[in-house]
Structure 1
Amino acid sequence: MGHAQSSSPQVILMGLDSAGKTTLLAQLLTGQVMETSPTIGFNVGTLNLDKKTSLTVWDVGGQKSMRDNWSYYLDDCQALVFVVDSSDPARLPEAQKVLKKVLSEKKLEGVPLMVLANKNDLPNAMNIQQISTQLFLPQYEDRRWEIQACSGLKGLGLQQAFTSINKLIRHNRHLI
């Protein structure tokens, strides 16, 4: 059974530190840009997509020292949102390894993945095709995945991305 929780699906926001997860969540929940500092532990908020639909979004700290604790947050996770900084190609290999490790967790078997290519508004940002290739996304044939470009600072693409995440979750529920 697990622990009793509200009926809104649990979505986990992960990614390397400085990918912009907390800014993105703050923008989604409040529509404002907030000064953020590295997340120790997690932030959690409920995102109301419309009158009937809400998602509980957990933003988990991405610093190296925190990553060992990630698996504790994966119970009841119904979609994984992996945030990458599109303007930082040097860290994509690290992001790829971290994503691969997380997706190998038993608890995430078959859980849909949404990759958010954040900071897409920056002039040197890579496109989603390049990011998808670098993260080896096409090799994840055991789950549904999508990648979308967004900007946490400007709030661009976030609503669409989370609407898609909700569709992925609903689709997945029908398969079970």
Structure 2
Amino acid sequence: MGSMCSVLSKQPAKILVLGIDGAGKTSLLYTLKGNNDMISPTVGFNVETVEPLEGVFFELFDVGGTEKVRNLWIHHIENTKGLVYVVDSNDEEQIEESRKELFKFLKNEEMKGIPIVIIANKQDLPNALSTTDLTNRMGFHTLTSHRWHIQAASATTGEGVFESMKKMSNMIKRSK
């Protein structure tokens, strides 16, 4: 554990937090900050430094997910160490759009090899797809150029959120 702390604590690792609008990116961010009382949709982006695990610091870039803003995602790639991609697993209508946006974004040369944690968010809702169903529907098994992990989570309850950050930390450590 000591080496992970030294690798990630010198300077916070930059993590992009992306997903289409309404997926729960900002809820995730503020759950990690310990404050998810008043959350409104992100216009532009939020940047927060968090310590999700003792001695591990991430600088999270929560970039808005509206259709207009998605074209700006590319401008935040520089120095990115990991991608957290948030999917509303309870909204069947948005699954395909979310898949298309992720795979389009991953075509950027700068993203090659960047570890990805996919958050299957809103697992606390009754119609949420399981991580297995979401993996199949979104074709994550085709992500062969990236180390990836899918995590069932609920950004509002905190379930799975810190586990996902631990997984990201371990993947960043292994990719160094």
TM over 0.5: yes
1:74 to 64, 74, 77: 77
Corresponding residue for residue 153 of structure 1: 156
Select 1:14's aligned residue among 2, 9, 18: 18
Q: Tell me what 1:3 maps to.
A: none
Q: CA deviation at 1:34?
A: 2.5
Q: Shift of the alpha carbon at 1:33?
A: 2.4
- RMSD of aligned residue pairs (Cα, Å): 1.1
Deviation at 1:89, TM superposition (A): 1.0
Distance (whole Å) between structure 1 residues aligned to residue 38 and residue 52 of structure 2: 24
Matches within 5 A, 1:25-174: 25-30=29-34, 32-173=35-176
Secondary structure in 1 aligned to 2:47? strand
Q: Match of 1:93, as an amino acid? A: E
May I ask how many residue pairs the two structures share in their alignment? 167
Code of the aligned partner of 2:19: G
Q: Deviations over 1:122-167 (max 9, x none)?
A: 0111100111111110001111000001001101111111011000
Match of 2:134, as an amino acid?
A: I
Identity within the alignment, %: 32
Instruction: Return structure 1 stretches of 4+ with deviation > 3 angstroms.
Output: none
> How far off its partner does 1:50 sit?
3.7
Task: Give unpaired runs (5+ residues) of structure 2.
Answer: 1-9
Q: Is the CA contact 1:15–1:83 (under 8 Å) kept in the aligned structure 2?
A: yes
Q: Within 1, Cα distance between the matches of 2:40 and 2:50?
A: 21
The gaps in structure 1 that reach 5 residues or longer are 1-5
Q: TM-score, normalised by structure 1?
A: 0.91
C-alpha distance in structure 1 between counterparts of 2:64 and 2:21, whole Å = 7
Shift of 1:40: 1.1
Q: Which SS does the other structure have where 2:16 is aligned?
A: strand
Shift of residue 49 of structure 1? 3.1
Asked whether the 8 Å contact 2:151–2:160 carries over to 1, the reply is yes
Structure 1 residue 62, shift from structure 2 partner? 0.3
